[in-house]
Amino acid sequence: PLNGDINFDFCNSICTGSATFQVNANTSYTYNITPSVQSYANGNTISIYDACPNTYTLTINTADGCSATTIFTFNEPQNSLT
């Protein structure tokens, strides 16, 4: 399974969203995020940064054949401060 924290602070479509997901796996894994976004893996943690407002799909595949998928969305506020 995946556990995650999502943070965002958007204003006028500036891409500043970030998220961190903890992968609970005892084997190696690969991951894919669509649409593509800046990310990196460090041990069992996947970090996403500079994300634009959008809906993303994160898929994890472990070496022992397990998989997990989560969908998360960064929304831009309806009203911008001026």
Q: How far apart are CA 12 and CA 81, in angstroms?
A: 9
pLDDT band at 2 (very low <50, low <70, confident <90, very high): low
Confidence (pTM): 0.81
pLDDT band at 5 (very low <50, low <70, confident <90, very high): low
SS3 sequence of 38-56: CEEEECCEEEEEEECCEEE
- pLDDT tens digits, one per residue of 9-62: 656 667 888 899 999 888 999 999 999 999 999 999 999 999 988 999 999 999
pLDDT given at position 74: 83
